[in-house]
Amino acid sequence: MSTNLLSREEYLKRFSEIQKHVIPITRELGRRVNPGMSEKEIAREYTKMLADVGLVDHWYPILINAGENSGKAVSRRIHLPGEYIIKENDIFILDCTPIDKTVWGNWAETFVVGSDPFYQSLSNDCLIVVKQTAEFARTSAKTVGEILDYCVNIATNLGMKSLDSRNDVGHSIFQVPEGQTVDKTPLSDRLFLNDDYRNAKLEGIISIEPHFGRVNPKDGVLYGSKHQEVIIYS
């Protein structure tokens, strides 16, 4: 396995280039999704759109969590895109992690089909949490624990709970040796915004990416939302 890691300057440049593709592609796809499409169909279109700009490999598998699947822990180990069909009023999460040699990008965002106020409120509230937490992380936070507590406090006040299996609200983004996918990457190389890393200082690239949810009183089902902001520390 070739390492060929880039210098910090080269790495940040390539990471930025990938993100400039990934974010608008995710949003364009989100606007294209219509009732009747399955998670698998959406994932195929996502893969094609990324491949069209040269992003053909993935560090972590594409995830599409729609409807009640949005309320399950977002993980390739639990739920890869399946046969769920988008409804007239629905919610879905798009999440991709394309990789170019040693550099992987990452973006996750929630979209609402139709005009159901519960789904819209859930997505909007999660976005508020992410934006406020990211601003705090950029300007005031010194440790992972400070970001974690700040983020969870806002979400709790908005009536949401963490759906992540480790209660992460984000993670580090970093270079890996060429060909090293997530399943080959030691957990010791990673940093998660959870209690286990509470005292870790903030450095490199950090993704604020919580997965929060709440129960819909109409059907008693737990639904979830993810939004993301990326912070680069000097």
In the β-sheet with 205-208, what is the strand arrangement from edge to edge? 170-173, 205-208, 229-232
With 60 as the cut, is the pLDDT of residue 172 above it?
yes
Asked, for residue 40, whether it belongs to a domain, the answer is: yes
User: Helices 144-157 and 117-139: crossing angle, nearest 10°?
Assistant: 150
- Containing domain of residue 70, as a range? 8-232
Asked, for residue 2, whether it belongs to a domain, the answer is: no
Asked, for residue 1, whether it belongs to a domain, the answer is: no
Asked, for residue 3, whether it belongs to a domain, the answer is: no
Q: Can you tell me the mean pLDDT for 7-20? A: 98
Percentage of the chain beyond pLDDT 90 is: 91
Q: What is the pLDDT of residues 111-148, one digit of tens each?
A: 999 999 999 999 999 999 999 999 999 999 999 999 99
pTM greater than 0.85: yes
CB atoms closer than 10 angstroms to residue 9: 8
Higher pLDDT, 73 or 217: 217
Asked, for residue 199, whether it belongs to a domain, the answer is: yes
Asked, for residue 38, whether it belongs to a domain, the answer is: yes
Q: What is the pLDDT of residues 26-58, one digit of tens each?
A: 999 999 999 999 999 999 999 999 999 999 999
* Amino acid 76: pLDDT: 54
Asked, for residue 65, whether it belongs to a domain, the answer is: yes
How far apart, in Å, are the Cα atoms of 189 and each of 136, 169, 201, 217? Answer: 25, 18, 15, 41
Q: What is the pLDDT of residues 76-101, one digit of tens each?
A: 555 678 999 999 999 999 999 999 99
Higher pLDDT, 77 or 160: 160
With 60 as the cut, is the pLDDT of residue 16 above it?
yes
Q: Can you tell me the mean pLDDT for 103-118? A: 98
With 70 as the cut, is the pLDDT of residue 9 above it?
yes
* Amino acid 5: pLDDT: 95
Q: What is the CATH number of the domain that holds 163?
A: 3.90.230.10
Give how many domains the chain has, as a whole number: 1
What is the pLDDT confidence band of residue 73, given thresholds at 50, 70 and 90?
confident
